[in-house]
């Protein structure tokens, strides 16, 4: 008898304290977080600032028991799980689209859709959390927050009752009114900007909307207007996947064509004899040229120094780091390679910096076989958001590499090893072309739309589709 009493009590206890909500967390790199304290106080000083998203957690909270409005909540928490701010959104469009919710917030705090995989597509610029202490959340590189990860709801959420009183007549009437408004199907697809990469159009900030693009946040461009909801959603997917009827895939066979090859004597032939400037040479240990003309004070012992608009990019191989600093030695950022690379032993041969992205190669110390062929990788690192964008396969880049608008041109080779020139796609590091060379790569430079490749034995000239 006691045993049954204990079992019944346990079941009651579990049911009484069962979780009321499901929680999904969005990655911190996918959104921008802006804090506006005292937003409603006209006399308060404007101290609006963009904060580091890695110090916070953004959660989509779904009540396990649905009400008429299919409410959803966005919670911003600190690292300890304490609530910073939250917002309430009615998403009553499930009656129209089973796996897709169209949500609107209180006091025009934002409009968005929750897609079938729980990714969020914003119809407005972003969403606002809080009233007086305001936190604005905007998607980072598109109109979307990507598919989130399911997490255990923190106690700060499970311990409170956030569901509205959905049984009142006023609430039910409000939902009916909203349903009538949402009966109007989405007919428009909009985007913010576009760019062409590898002869393919990439649309950025794609959204599907119920009203024309000009009715939403300024800057939206018109992708298309469609007759039915299905056509609209298909076009929305084409926009997000950057599929365009007029785009053509790059032809790898015509990507690069060798024009000539000349035998040289590397140690007796200066680069100037080929009409080359030598400006791409990456180390002060070479006498042909240096990538800088005058060293600022305090940078005499660095290995590579590139002049930027606001200062210099400085590589120190001994310190295993690279910094971006101005003339006053004020540092914009400082990156240690050991926090990024996958190699256990390496030397940084070359670096390039462009549009907040740092490209570098972690090369083999000596023969590749001594490191089990796990070295000489090319990396692309986002310095603004502190995240690795991509890395190439092993044995792809040693010595020098250069950038074009679309490609990264690199090479790998060493004594008693095979030597190749590689053309990599700049957006993801994929090798598009691999060309065998006679010996290891020494120097690269583009002049008059021709790629000059200097190896230790020969001078190659290629025509490249740059």
What is the C-alpha to C-alpha distance for residues 382 and 389, in angstroms, rounded to an integer? 6
Higher-scoring residue by pLDDT: 203, 108:
203
Burial of 292 from C-beta contacts in 10 A (0-12 / 13-18 / 19+): middle
Q: Does some domain include residue 3?
A: no
For the chain, what is the radius of gyration of the CA atoms? 28
Report the mean per-residue pLDDT for the chain. 80
Helix, strand, coil distribution of the chain in percent, nearest 5: 15, 40, 45
Same domain, yes or no: 138 and 30: yes
Task: Enter the pTM of the model.
Answer: 0.48
Q: Does some domain include residue 379?
A: yes
Q: Does some domain include residue 247?
A: no
What is the C-alpha to C-alpha distance for residues 36 and 137, in angstroms, rounded to an integer? 11
Same domain, yes or no: 176 and 282: no
Same domain, yes or no: 230 and 341: no
Lowest mean pLDDT among 191-200, 266-275, 374-383, 416-425: 266-275
The answer to whether the beta carbons of residues 29 and 11 sit under 8 Å apart is no
The answer to whether the beta carbons of residues 352 and 326 sit under 8 Å apart is no
Is the pLDDT at 266 greater than 70? The verdict is no
Q: Does some domain include residue 246?
A: no
Which is nearest to 425 in space by CA: 250, 203, 307? 250
CA distances from 153 to 10, 128, 161, 336, 390 (A): 22, 21, 13, 35, 32
Number of domains in the chain: 3
- In this structure, the dihedral spanned by the alpha carbons of residues 168, 169, 175 and 176, taken in order and rounded to 10 degrees, is 160
Same domain, yes or no: 167 and 228: no
Range of the domain at 236: 188-240
pLDDT in tens, 41-73: 666 666 788 899 989 999 999 887 766 677 888
Q: Does some domain include residue 11?
A: no
Q: Does some domain include residue 245?
A: no
Q: Does some domain include residue 321?
A: yes
What is the C-alpha to C-alpha distance for residues 387 and 62, in angstroms, rounded to an integer? 30
Same domain, yes or no: 231 and 213: yes
The arithmetic mean of pLDDT across residues 215-240, rounded, is 82
Cite the beta strand spans of 106-178 per DSSP E: 111-114, 120-122, 127-129, 134-139, 144-145, 149-151
Burial of 145 from C-beta contacts in 10 A (0-12 / 13-18 / 19+): buried
Same domain, yes or no: 286 and 346: yes
What is the C-alpha to C-alpha distance for residues 82 and 56, in angstroms, rounded to an integer? 10
**CATH number for the domain harbouring residue 356:** 2.40.128.630
The arithmetic mean of pLDDT across residues 67-92, rounded, is 84
């Amino acid at each position: 008898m006691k045993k049954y009493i204990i079992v019944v009590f346990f079941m009651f206890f579990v049911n009484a304290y069962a979780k009321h909500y499901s929680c999904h967390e969005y990655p911190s790199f996918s959104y921008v977080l802006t804090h506006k304290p005292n937003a409603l106080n006209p006399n308060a000083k404007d101290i609006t600032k963009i904060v580091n998203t890695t110090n916070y957690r953004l959660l989509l909270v779904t009540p396990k028991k649905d009400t008429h409005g299919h409410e959803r909540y966005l919670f911003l928490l600190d690292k300890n799980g304490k609530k910073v701010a939250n917002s309430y959104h009615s998403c009553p469009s499930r009656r129209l689209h089973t796996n897709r919710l169209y949500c609107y917030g209180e006091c025009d705090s934002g409009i968005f859709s929750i897609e079938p995989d729980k990714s969020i597509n914003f119809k407005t610029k972003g969403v606002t959390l809080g009233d007086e202490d305001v936190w604005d959340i905007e998607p980072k590189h598109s109109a979307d927050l990507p598919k989130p990860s399911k997490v255990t709801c923190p106690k700060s959420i499970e311990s409170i009752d956030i569901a509205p009183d959905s049984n009142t007549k006023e609430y039910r009437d409000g939902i009916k009114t909203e349903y009538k408004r949402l009966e109007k199907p989405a007919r428009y697809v909009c985007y913010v900007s576009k760019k062409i990469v590898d002869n393919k159009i990439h649309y950025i900030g794609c959204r599907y909307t119920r009203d024309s693009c000009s009715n939403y946040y300024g800057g939206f461009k018109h992708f298309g207007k469609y007759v039915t909801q299905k056509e609209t959603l298909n076009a929305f997917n084409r926009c997000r996947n950057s599929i365009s009827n007029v785009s053509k895939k790059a032809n790898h066979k015509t990507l690069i064509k060798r024009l000539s090859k000349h035998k040289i004597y590397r140690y007796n032939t200066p680069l100037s004899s080929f009409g080359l400037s030598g400006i791409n040479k990456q180390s002060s240990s070479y006498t042909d040229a240096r990538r800088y003309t005058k060293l600022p004070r305090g940078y005499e012992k660095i290995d590579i120094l590139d002049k930027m608009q606001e200062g210099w990019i400085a590589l120190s191989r001994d310190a295993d780091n690279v910094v971006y600093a101005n003339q006053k030695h004020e540092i914009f950022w400082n990156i240690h390679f050991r926090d990024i690379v996958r190699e256990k032993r390496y030397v940084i041969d070359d670096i390039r910096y462009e549009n907040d992205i740092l490209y570098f190669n972690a090369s083999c110390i000596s023969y590749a076989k001594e490191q089990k062929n796990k070295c000489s990788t090319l990396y692309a690192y986002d310095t603004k958001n502190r995240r690795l964008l991509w890395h190439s396969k092993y044995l792809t880049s040693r010595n020098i590499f250069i950038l074009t608008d679309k490609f990264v041109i690199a090479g790998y080779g060493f004594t008693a090893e095979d030597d190749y020139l590689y053309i990599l796609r700049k957006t993801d590091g994929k090798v598009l072309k691999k060309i065998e060379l006679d010996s290891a790569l020494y120097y690269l430079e583009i002049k008059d739309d021709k790629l000059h490749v200097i190896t230790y034995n020969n001078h190659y000239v290629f025509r490249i589709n740059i």
